[in-house]
Amino acid sequence: MSYQQTYQRSLSDPNGFWSEAADLIDWYESPEIVLDESAAPLYRWFTGGVVNTCYNAIDRHVDGGRADQLALVYDSPVTDTVRKYTYTELRDEVAKLAGALRSLGVDKGDRVIIYMPMVPEAAMAMLACARLGAVHSVVFGGFAANELATRIDDAKPKAVMAASCGIEPGRIVEYKPLLDSAIDLADHKPDSVLMLQRPQARAELIAGRDHDWAESVAAADPADCVPVAATDPLYILYTSGTTGVPKGIVRDNGGHAVALAWSMKNIYNVDPGEAYWAASDVGWVVGHSYIVYAPLLHGCTSILYEGKPVGTPDPGAFWRVISEHGVAVLFTAPTAFRAIKRDDPDAEHLARYELDKFRTLFLAGERCDPDTLHWAEDKLGVPVIDHWWQTESGWPMISNPMGIEPLPVKPGSPAVPVPGYDVRVLDDEGAEVASGDIGAIVVKLPLPPGTLPTLWNADDRYREAYLERFPGHYLSGDAGFKDEDGYVSIMSRIDDIINVAGHRLSTGAMEEVIADHVDVAECAVIGVADQLKGQLPVGFVVLKSGADRKSDEVVDELVAMMRERIGPVAAFKQAAVVERLPKTRSGKILRGTMRSIADNEDWTMPATIDDPVILDEIGAALEGMGYAGG
């Protein structure tokens, strides 16, 4: 069937389409209802179905002929380690870990926070929770204690699974002090912590609360898979919203397993038994879906890489991993390729490796600039596929459907809506815009299986944030256009989210941090274009009258506060103290105008500006930081 036929069928007969896809996984009880519209606009999939995600990801492959096939390969240039697990070995490790969790009192429905770097035990921790029907919530290691505390208070975990440290090039990040201070800060106190001791920095354990991972696993009885409802939550993953309070995206068990299993062949065109590598982090949605769940659900070998695209040890790192582990498909963020291109523009390191099994490169997480796309195509000689999705969707919404029908690549566009997603571009009044015109990118409800059913304990916030702006549609928060062939281009956000090295961050949350500085009267944070990371945050600060600290000191303190409160991943390193912020006469800060000046784009003086002269000061400050043509 062609892409067009498949796509049309997915929209005209969602029940038939997704009930066929549901055969890709094993059920204890088949679903009674495929698309459940009873609580619309909050839709559910596969109501009545009973399933276990861990069983589908691991056990059924052991029983079904893949017992000795590699399931997981851990490749860590930062510790000089490679460790490999067959499906049987992975099942045994996960069953024991689940047993250890159970002995800590973790049961179906309980939440478990996972705060771990890119070690195989992080994937095992997720799968062990899934095995018990417990709900995991992974927090990215680059977030600070305060962000971890916010998530602990929202998810109210019974236990935390953590590692003693992460390894960043040139420094060891001790996780235990961050975890301890997060638990101190949080109102909710987890009963126990399961701590993986890494030799690079061992953690002090608190008697009664903290348990040694290896000892607990050694003492545990293996736990079996616990059947759960298809609609029960598998995990919560927090992502930046427009305020400092992150949104707890909920993922269910049944729809998620079906959608991910379906995506592996139809979008990524990868077969069971092949090696699939998502070079991301288990802390992000890409890591959840395409390091842990999808490759295993599909019977692939998944690569879990603890390293960077450059510097660990050189810009040939990706080619080494592809070559050594026979990777067929790589998925990463464009920023990783920009880093490789910057350090090795002629891709000289490529010549050192044989990439004979490598077929396709997929990129997502941020806009893919045509230069990077062409460079990767030229150097690798394989199709380079930009595709678009979000934490909320959990799997691609717009992509070139490589396993259905590879379509021509148009640089700058992630191509066409994925079956199941009725993607539209609307104007402010909710009418569809003409092709080529920019508008809000929305998906007509219902969203397909695997997408968020709601926010954790926050149905109202879910409706308000996603469903109310254009009734009957899911608001993606991105803006863009569709061309006459139906290809969609994603151009920008309609809110204050920025994208730094493929990481989604809220400038609103950063402004909340700055506003807490004693000398700050008001502030604005904008995302400015950066050649490597796509965007970087820049702050503008107005000091309180009478503030006696020097501007430089305040800026240094703000940079330190941001690292302390949000984390190094915010990459907040630049700010300027100004006399006033540019505003409209009604007091709205003109962030868009500031951004256009920073990026050296054409801009027009807003008619409603209160005092145009202020923009000269902003322009000068930006030039001083190397932006605005400076």
**Residue numbers at the binding site for ligand COA (CB under 6 A):** 117, 141-142, 166, 168, 173, 280-281, 284, 286, 308-310, 333, 335-336, 339, 365, 501-502, 532, 568-569, 571
| Pairing outcome for strands 135-138 and 111-115 | parallel
| Pairing outcome for strands 247-252 and 44-47 | unpaired
Smallest separation (angstroms) from ligand COA to the CB of 505 = 10
397 binds, among ligand AMP, ligand COA, none (CB under 5 to 8 A by kind): none
390 binds, among ligand COA, ligand AMP, none (CB under 5 to 8 A by kind): ligand AMP
Q: What are phi and psi of 115, to 5 degrees?
A: -125, 85
Q: Could you tell me if 365 and 499 are in contact, meaning their C-beta atoms sit under 8 angstroms apart?
A: yes
Stretch (H or E) spanning 509: helix 507-515
Tokens 């459940």, located at residue? 36
322 binds, among ligand COA, ligand AMP, none (CB under 5 to 8 A by kind): none
Figure out which of the listed residues 263, 301, 390, 454 binds ligand AMP, where binding follows CB under 6 A: 390
574 lines the binding site for ligand AMP (CB under 6 A) = no
Report, in angstroms and rounded to the nearest whole number, the Rg of the chain calculated over CA atoms.
24
571 binds, among ligand COA, ligand AMP, none (CB under 5 to 8 A by kind): ligand COA
| Interface segment toward ligand AMP; rule CB under 6 A; list 181-189, 380-388, 421-429, 601-609 | 380-388
Nearer to ligand AMP, 391 or 451 (CB): 391
Nearer to ligand AMP, 110 or 281 (CB): 281
Q: How far from the centroid of its chain's Cα atoms is residue 553's Cα?
A: 34
Stretch (H or E) spanning 242: none
Smallest separation (angstroms) from ligand AMP to the CB of 392 = 7
- The side-by-side arrangement of strands in the sheet containing 192-196 is 210-212, 192-196, 159-163, 111-115, 135-138, 233-239, 247-252
Taking the C-alpha atoms of residue 117 and residue 97, their distance in angstroms, rounded to an integer, is 17
Taking the C-alpha atoms of residue 486 and residue 252, their distance in angstroms, rounded to an integer, is 30
Nearer to ligand AMP, 265 or 493 (CB): 493
Figure out which of the listed residues 478, 496, 519, 599 binds ligand AMP, where binding follows CB under 6 A: 478
Binding to ligand AMP (CB under 6 A): which residues in 141-180? Answer: none
| Pairing outcome for strands 473-482 and 488-493 | antiparallel
Q: Could you tell me if 325 and 349 are in contact, meaning their C-beta atoms sit under 8 angstroms apart?
A: no
Binding to ligand AMP (CB under 6 A): which residues in 232-251? Answer: 239
388 lines the binding site for ligand AMP (CB under 6 A) = yes
Figure out which of the listed residues 137, 266, 400, 499 binds ligand AMP, where binding follows CB under 6 A: 499
239 binds, among ligand COA, ligand AMP, none (CB under 5 to 8 A by kind): ligand AMP
| Separate counts of helices (H) and strands (E) for the chain | 20, 31
Q: Could you tell me if 161 and 116 are in contact, meaning their C-beta atoms sit under 8 angstroms apart?
A: yes
Nearer to ligand AMP, 178 or 364 (CB): 364
Figure out which of the listed residues 357, 410, 493, 580 binds ligand AMP, where binding follows CB under 6 A: 493
490 lines the binding site for ligand AMP (CB under 6 A) = yes
Smallest separation (angstroms) from ligand COA to the CB of 97 = 21
Figure out which of the listed residues 36, 121, 281, 366 binds ligand AMP, where binding follows CB under 6 A: 366
> With contacts defined by CB under 6 A, how many residues of the chain interact with ligand AMP?
20
Nearer to ligand AMP, 222 or 406 (CB): 406
Structure tokens, 399: 């992509």
Q: Is the dihedral of CA 143, 144, 147, 152 positive or negative?
A: positive
Figure out which of the listed residues 113, 186, 292, 364 binds ligand AMP, where binding follows CB under 6 A: 364
Q: Could you tell me if 585 and 593 are in contact, meaning their C-beta atoms sit under 8 angstroms apart?
A: no
Binding pattern for the stretch 395-434 against ligand AMP, x by CB under 6 A and - elsewhere: -------------------x--------------------
Smallest separation (angstroms) from ligand COA to the CB of 290 = 9
319: left (phi over 0), alpha (psi -120 to 50) or beta: alpha
Write the CA distances from 142 to 170, 190, 232, 254, 508, integer angstroms.
15, 21, 29, 30, 19
280 binds, among ligand COA, ligand AMP, none (CB under 5 to 8 A by kind): ligand COA
Tokens 């699939």, located at residue? 276
130 binds, among ligand AMP, ligand COA, none (CB under 5 to 8 A by kind): none
Taking the C-alpha atoms of residue 302 and residue 304, their distance in angstroms, rounded to an integer, is 6
Nearer to ligand COA, 4 or 531 (CB): 531
Stretch (H or E) spanning 85: strand 81-86
Figure out which of the listed residues 180, 386, 496, 599 binds ligand AMP, where binding follows CB under 6 A: 386
Give every CB contact of residue 509 below 8 A, 6+ residues apart in sequence.
Answer: 240, 243, 244, 566
- The contact set with ligand AMP (CB under 6 A) reads 239, 285, 364-368, 386-388, 390-391, 414, 476-478, 490, 493, 499, 504
